[in-house]
Amino acid sequence: MADTRPLLLSDPDALPTAYTPLPGGSSSPEIRRIHVKEVLAMFAGVVMVSLLVVIIGNTGQDGNVYHRHNRRDKPMLLAASPTKETATKAEKAEKLQAVTRGMAAGVSEKSSRLYSSDVGAGTPVYPWNNSMLSWQRTAFHFQPEKNWMNDPNGPLFYKGWYHFFYQYNPKGAVWGNIVWGHAVSRDLIHWLHLPLAMVADQWYDINGVWTGSATILPNDQIVMLYTGSTNESVQVQCLAYPADHKDPLLTKWVKYSGNPVLVPPPGTGVKDFRDPTTAWYTTDGKWRITIGSKVNKTGISLVYDTKDFITYEQLDGVLHAVPGTGMWECIDFYPVSKTSDKGLDTSQNGADVKHVMKASLDDDRNDYYALGSYNEKTGKWVPDNQKIDVGIGIRYDYGKFYASKTFYDQNKQRRVLWGWIGESDSENADVKKGWASLQGIPRTVLFDQKTGSNLLQWPVEEIEKLRLNKKNFDKVQVKAGSVVPLDVGTATQLDIVVEFELDQKVVESAAESNEEFSCQTSGGAAKRGALGPFGLLVLADDSLSERTPVYFYVVKGSGGTVNTYFCADQTRSSVATDVVKQVSGSYVPVLKGETLSLRILVDHSIIESFAQGGRTTITTRVYPTQAIYGAARLFLFNNATDTSFTASLQIWQMNSAFIRPFSPDAASHASFTPVTVFIKFIVPFGIFLTLYFVR
């Protein structure tokens, strides 16, 4: 019999948010008693004006206004040397300590400090204040109320609700004490936090309830397979299931009493066997899963068949292996249609299907995928192009994006991708602000029918419900070596869609070059070439002492071939010393007749960028100290030497998502508009104030 104890134990020792509130005034003025009619009149006026503002803001408005400051025709302020404005306080502050987390326990490194080439032990800790740290928290990305989060786990759609589980530390803002957090949503944007789904309370998972996946069976029942770290730190696979399948919120989970259901096979390291995938159904009437591992430095995916998710048969060989890629974790394996714009159920196969093989590489903490063909009979997968095989070719994202997981959304017939977005600051800062990590905006995933070699990733359509007022900028001309401010107001929460048109005569007449371009080694947006870089300066201040360029760089090679690269440059994103500052990006396919297109989601300390419809994506974490709140600005820039361009933009201010703890009332209003928020929260608060003054 299964253990029927509900796994909902909340931790009474969970740490509170680590930073203290901003100081307020030392005293309050004496409040005189106001006449009731006077108060009601004032309150009614405030309510009417506020309601009008909310309705207008929610409706949105189009504009075609942009202001060119005198700066636009001056030489661009993207000097090759970093800003000299440094924090003198940091020089006397404490130094960063080299910390490693996770590797000794048998998972990938969870401390970003060790993975920065320019920041490490001995770097001064920047004197962050509460205002700066508070600004960093996102407004429409999913994250817990506090503490540490990492991998997405077992996402699914069930009985009208999207479920999201995640690796969570209820005791603090660093990795450790890992359990499963749980949240639900009607639309993948507004979320309700539920009690913990599973905690580390059995010998087979006492050192961590690690990553797992959900499978929905034909009878609408759910099985959850996850990796447990035993009392001896052996990685084993465990089974769990809902206590009540009639409960749409799935609030209670039961661990199978016979756990673990799988242990490391002979020849596999006890810490090299983790992260089972969603199962797919075979023509033999069995369910099949794959699990990440390695043999020496070869990354592999082991394959198992089962009929009941309790007893398993290991297949001979592996689903796939790539030498030199190291340990594979968080494997994902799923079909995509070659002819349709709909997603496919994980069990689907056929002539019109490609299969995606994805692995998260423990060695470099990046997510790689490849397209290929799957043979069910042999249990093997073969890449279309071995030169861009898993781990040596294409990445989901060229910025901060790891341990991703997809699920098939049967509600809208789409494949949805989740990715863990870690921090790029210091652990000291994370502890001070009381939280670390967030999840990227869920993305739809499709096969790129034009290139035949790429996936297309795009933010789920529901994010557009947060769009507020809109401004259009039509054919803005940007000359070589110039910067053009875009008057969008505060630039902290934006959805930006832009198309660039280069001067084709200049492109055709440009000299051919043997330049070997790389975003990572090019010198960033300060490196000038004939046809780039050009793009947007995001989260910049007026003086451009802080800015994050997101840009294209075009290279004309021998024979007249034109190659386009898509990059994001953190090197001048902040004057703080204890944050990662690097240039990220890669080649992006641009087909004949296509214009260069870009979409950027800006949400405080995260910038998600999608080039050419999502062929290449970059997620960037930035921590400005000056370009925050009302001081954040947006600019077009052109640091090319020979070409000008025109840009047409649509830019929306973005509302905040509704993310809060679950309550019955919250569940019935999981998707809020500004008007309903106003009516349900602001008006009652105003009534309370009125009664207080007239009592």
Domains, the chain, with CATH or none: 130-135+152-459 (2.115.10.20), 467-654 (2.60.120.560)
Query: For the residues 491-513, what does the mean pLDDT come to?
Result: 93
- Evaluate whether 553 touches 565 at the Cβ level (below 8 Å): yes
Q: Residues 279-288: pLDDT tens digits?
A: 999 999 999 9
Range in 48-52, 191-195, 316-320, 563-567 with the lowest mean pLDDT? 48-52
- The burial class, CB within 10 Å (0-12 / 13-18 / 19+), for 24 is exposed
Query: What's the pLDDT score for residue 120?
Result: 62
Instruction: Inform me whether the pLDDT recorded for 434 exceeds 70.
Output: yes
- Evaluate whether 309 touches 261 at the Cβ level (below 8 Å): yes
Q: Which amino acid is at 372?
A: G
Query: What's the pLDDT score for residue 67?
Result: 37
* Position 125 confidence tier, pLDDT thresholds 50, 70, 90: confident
Query: What's the pLDDT score for residue 516?
Result: 86
Instruction: Inform me whether the pLDDT recorded for 166 exceeds 80.
Output: yes
Instruction: Inform me whether the pLDDT recorded for 208 exceeds 70.
Output: yes
CA distance linking residue 46 with residue 48, whole number of Å: 6
- Evaluate whether 102 touches 515 at the Cβ level (below 8 Å): no
* Position 184 confidence tier, pLDDT thresholds 50, 70, 90: very high
Beta bridge partners of 156: 163
Residue 133 has phi, psi (to 5 degrees) of -65, -40
Beta bridge partners of 633: 540
Among 399, 404, 364, which Cα is nearest to 605's? Answer: 399
- The DSSP code sequence of 391-411 is TTSEES-SSS-EEEEEEEETT
CA distance linking residue 438 with residue 193, whole number of Å: 14
Range in 76-85, 143-152, 406-415 with the lowest mean pLDDT? 76-85
Query: What's the pLDDT score for residue 513?
Result: 84
- The burial class, CB within 10 Å (0-12 / 13-18 / 19+), for 59 is exposed
Among 370, 446, 368, which Cα is nearest to 408's? Answer: 446
CA distance linking residue 244 with residue 332, whole number of Å: 28
Query: What's the pLDDT score for residue 665?
Result: 66
Query: What's the pLDDT score for residue 454?
Result: 97
Q: Does 462 or 516 have the greater pLDDT score?
A: 462
Q: Does 41 or 205 have the greater pLDDT score?
A: 205
From residue 473, give the alpha-carbon distance in Å to each of 397, 503, 585, 640. 28, 19, 26, 21
- Evaluate whether 200 touches 206 at the Cβ level (below 8 Å): yes
Q: Does 103 or 475 have the greater pLDDT score?
A: 475
Among 312, 360, 105, which Cα is nearest to 229's? Answer: 105
CA distance linking residue 486 with residue 3, whole number of Å: 60
Among 420, 456, 424, which Cα is nearest to 164's? Answer: 420
* Position 559 confidence tier, pLDDT thresholds 50, 70, 90: confident
Q: Which amino acid is at 412?
A: K
Among 494, 510, 502, 441, which Cα is nearest to 190's? Answer: 441
Count CB atoms within 10 A of the CB of residue 241: 18
Q: What is the dihedral of CA 528, 533, 539, 543, to 10 degrees?
A: 30
Instruction: Inform me whether the pLDDT recorded for 267 exceeds 60.
Output: yes
CA angle 682, 683, 688 (to 5 degrees): 95
Query: What's the pLDDT score for residue 20?
Result: 26
List Cβ<8 Å contacts ≥24 apart for 216-219.
216/156, 216/158, 216/410
Pair of tokens at residue 442: 């869920």
Q: What is the dihedral of CA 288, 297, 149, 160, to 10 degrees?
A: -20
Helix axes 36-59, 683-694, angle to 10 degrees: 170
Instruction: Inform me whether the pLDDT recorded for 686 exceeds 90.
Output: no
Q: Could you list the active site residues?
A: 151
CA distance linking residue 21 with residue 3, whole number of Å: 43
Instruction: Inform me whether the pLDDT recorded for 238 exceeds 90.
Output: yes
Beta bridge partners of 336: 354
- The burial class, CB within 10 Å (0-12 / 13-18 / 19+), for 688 is exposed
Count CB atoms within 10 A of the CB of residue 281: 17
Strands 191-198 and 179-185: antiparallel
Measured over all CA atoms, what is the biggest interatomic distance in the chain, rounded to whole angstroms?
A: 85
CA distance linking residue 165 with residue 156, whole number of Å: 9
Query: What's the pLDDT score for residue 365?
Result: 95
Query: What's the pLDDT score for residue 105?
Result: 72
Query: What's the pLDDT score for residue 157?
Result: 98
Instruction: Inform me whether the pLDDT recorded for 273 exceeds 50.
Output: yes
Among 607, 653, 626, which Cα is nearest to 490's? Answer: 653
Query: pLDDT exceeding 90 applies to what percent of the chain?
Result: 74
- The DSSP code sequence of 545-595 is SS-EEEEEEEEE-GGG-EEEEEEEE-TTS-S-SSS---EEEEE----TTPP
Query: For the residues 417-426, what does the mean pLDDT come to?
Result: 96
- The burial class, CB within 10 Å (0-12 / 13-18 / 19+), for 236 is buried
The single residue listed with the structure tokens 């404005």 is 85
Pair of tokens at residue 589: 């396919």
